[in-house]
Amino acid sequence: MDLVGRQGHLDLLARLLSESPSRGSAVLVRGMAGIGKTALLAEAAVLAEVSGYRVLRTGGVEAESDIPYAGLQMLLRPLAAGMADLAAPHRQALDAALGRADADIADLFLVGLAALDLIADAAAVAPVLVIADDLQWLDDATVGILAFLARRVATEPVVIVGAARDGYRSRLNPDELTMLQLEPLSDDEATALLADRVPHLRPSAHRRLLAAAAGNPLALTELSRTLGASADPHLAEIPLTERLERAFTGRLGHLPEATRSLLRIAALDDGLSLPELYRAARAFTGSAVGSADLDPAVQARLVEVVGTELRFGHPLMRSAIQQSMSAQVRRAAHAALASALEDQPDRQVRHRAAATGDPDESVATALQDAARRAARRGGVAAALTALEQAAALSEDESRRGERLLLAAEYAAELGRAETVNRLLDTALTGRLSRQQHARVFWLRGGADEGLYSHSSGALSLTALAEEIALEDPALALRILWSAAQLCFWSDPGPQARGQILAAVERIVPDEVDPWRLAVCAYAAPIERGGYVLDRARDVARIEGDDGRAYRMLSTAALLAGGFGLARAFSAAGGAGLRAQGRLGLLARTVGADAWSALVVGDLGAAIAATEESRRLARETGQIMMYGLMTATAAKLAALRGQEGEALALAEAAEEIGLPVGARPVLATAAMARGLAALGQGRFEEAYGHFRRLHDPADPAFQIALRLTTLGDLVDAATHCGRAAAVLPVIAQLEEVAEVTPAPVLHADLRLARALVAADDAAEPLFQEALNADLTALPLIRARTHLAFGEWLRRRRRSVESRDHLRAARDMFDALGAIPWGEKARRELRAAGETSRGRDPDARDQLTAHELQIVQLAAEGLTNREIGQRLYLSHRTVSSHLHRIFPKLGVVSRAELHKVVGALR
């Protein structure tokens, strides 16, 4: 949403503030430096305070941009008393983030949930306006928290307004915030401003100033102060930022030397404390410095004193002073600051580094220690910066390379591909060990489990893993896991699959190791399917697991076709990942549950899990995972009879998957299109979609996922007269079934045999299919009843067909597979029996998010427990339940158990 015009912006903010008691929102204000962003935020704050809001403020300062959670500390300072009421894990995470406790932070999102609860509790007393100025200079961790909050305030009385310079890339998607673009002043507005500030400006200076400032009110104000009654003949030739800096620094020349020294220290300081500033200034000048020396700068409106803190009148003032300092003076000022920060080692070492002109191993080591501490607190961006500085100051070449590689790993974690490549290029200019070269190759190929590597890299990665296995088995396994990922997302071919399989069996001798099982399942889901499922069932409870091992086991079981086992492991792993706030891994673990639930027919669970996994994948920047879960949502919509939504989601997934040939995404999207056509009786079209899944030359061919689609293919083929065309596929999968015990494949084969059999052989095959244990596969049981009932009715055995058609109808209704339930009704009518319509249930009346909340509430979880599990505030959960009860016709939580029980 783009709006132009300052009054329009104010009106919009006023409207959002008036709506906030019932609906929260997020706003981003953008404009070039000095285009009134700060002024607009100030006016918004006044509007909010008049309306009874509590206003929380933070802002970016360039010198503090590498201090993790510096902005969050400023934002939450007024709410410190409420921290005592937070759940213990959240309070501990927030204490660690804000430097109040020495502890690790598993993930930034745990801090985000703590901040959300704190702000939501405050908003229960009075609505809250969160203001974040100069986002481009806020530390990375705080920006991540603000994005987390913005995605979750829709039902809270909270408005978040941030401001940034043009070019700032928001972490929110366009549909998640309102964008306000601040435009430059018109010539008439600029003229009015100049008339107010410098009424006696000569016409020639006036014209030149208007042209130079280009509608920027800050430029007009500052340049007019500098110009006075004369025009600078070179004004039009200097870039605007430099012009402004010259305007600022021009005002410094009239200040006493002691004042200038104070301002030089303050411009380089990454804090605001006046006592700290005076200590550093005394070390810098060698003489006593105090508040009297600061007064001239305050009177010139260059800085202001707020309590015991010093603040610049405008952030460009810092930059202007820094630019005016020689390198020697700058290093001396940093050294003075370091001497004043003995009780703050992380800040001290940054200034020691800035004061150091030559390599210094002691400083480099201290910076590496600071990076480690920052990473423990979740400040990955700060750790990256510190390691880069450490590398630059390293005296030892091998340590320099190691620090650059560690920095590259942090950059990969942040998704900064350009930074990864730059750091690796720099590392390669020095001497690296064989192990370090392996890390370069692995990181260059894409550290995100190989998702963005080309399929030909699988062989190289495998060879590399084997080469360093004795030297560093942990790194070898990470590299091999990336190669295995390529077997899932692309198709490197049988040779690469075989080499990956052989490598993991040599590198990891433990046959029940979760990583070995996962690599085997990814590389050879058919050949090692039985082995994976047998060993996975033997895995005892993994004490102390952080969720990763269970995640590996869940995805291994899924690819081997053990969907019930995959769901059990997903549930076990999800608990630990939720507790730690590791939402990136949680997206994948929940995604395995979603896909598995969908295949077996537990559509209620699939709806909730798909929505959560898709939302988390988007939020954590996992593009291919988001594409896969979008395709899964399309498949789910097709099974529910929501054809328009299914096709739209499938198209969106294909837009993500096609450019990189992501086979799981394209396969699942093709399934969705096939099911949408099949549910509407367009059998020829459905056959075309499903046939793609069994064609190795098609990008939708995925060696493991295709094993779940045989029943769909044969169903479509027999209804459009193509039964003979699918016989080779059936024969091929009969051979596959001799190797793998995948339950869905064997159940589909039993149904397929009956569907393509001659009349005199079909009936016993249908009976055999129904006599098999399909307890864990209700969707296939329902489809087998429907197919047998259709077969009987078409042979004029209507009375016999009714039992099967009735069973199919009731099962499809219970599962929520609406098109197939309606098809069973039509067949029943043709067999002489009428059916009443299906009664809508919670899956029809609630959104996917609401359904998930209802399911958890029915399990007996409190609002706070549900919020902790879904990373929402407990007040948001309460708001959802308040809207859900009338939809379901219930008046208490106790009645929800019956509602949810009907879905199972």
Taking only the tens place, the pLDDT of each residue in 289-332 is 888 999 998 888 888 888 888 888 776 777 778 888 888 999 99
- Paired tokens of 462: 């495998």
Between the alpha carbon of residue 366 and those of residues 140, 191, 350, 388, 400, the distances in Å are 22, 54, 9, 13, 14
Quickly state the pLDDT bin for 553 (edges 50, 70, 90).
Answer: very high
pLDDT score, position 196: 74
pLDDT score, position 229: 39
Residue among 107, 128, 106 at smallest CA distance from 117: 128
181 pairs with which residues across the strands? 30
Mean pLDDT, residues 554-567: 94
Residue among 358, 363, 327, 333 at smallest CA distance from 346: 363
CA-based torsion, 354, 355, 357, 359: positive or negative: negative
Q: What is the DSSP letter of 184?
A: P
Place of tokens 């933070």: 58
pLDDT score, position 541: 65
- Paired tokens of 133: 């100025």
Exposure string of 722-736, with b = 16+ CB inside 10 Å and e = fewer, is bbeebeebbeebeeb
Average pLDDT taken over every residue of the chain? 87
C-beta separation of 201 from 65 below 8 A: no
Q: How far, in Å, CA of 352 to CA of 338, rounded?
A: 6
User: Is 235 a residue whose pLDDT tops 50?
Assistant: no
C-beta separation of 132 from 160 below 8 A: yes
The residue that leads in pLDDT, 446 or 559, is 559
Least confident of 529-543, 583-597, 627-641, 788-802: 529-543
Q: What are phi and psi of 496, to 5 degrees?
A: -65, -40
Question: Residue 299 class from Cβ within 10 Å (0-12 exposed, 13-18 middle, 19+ buried)?
Answer: exposed
Distance from the Cα of residue 560 to its chain's centroid: 28
Exposure string of 655-671, with b = 16+ CB inside 10 Å and e = fewer, is ebbeebebbbbbbbbbb
The answer for residues whose C-beta is within 8 angstroms of residue 411's C-beta and 6 or more apart is: 384, 419, 420, 423
> pTM of the entire structure?
0.85
The residue that leads in pLDDT, 473 or 65, is 473
- Paired tokens of 583: 């939402």
Q: How far, in Å, CA of 60 to CA of 164, rounded?
A: 9
**Per-residue pLDDT reduced to its tens digit, 55-111:** 999 988 777 787 888 899 999 999 999 998 888 888 888 888 887 777 776 578 889
**Per-residue pLDDT reduced to its tens digit, 2-14:** 333 456 677 778 8
Quickly state the pLDDT bin for 173 (edges 50, 70, 90).
Answer: confident
- Paired tokens of 586: 């949680």
**Per-residue pLDDT reduced to its tens digit, 338-369:** 999 988 888 899 899 989 888 999 999 999 99
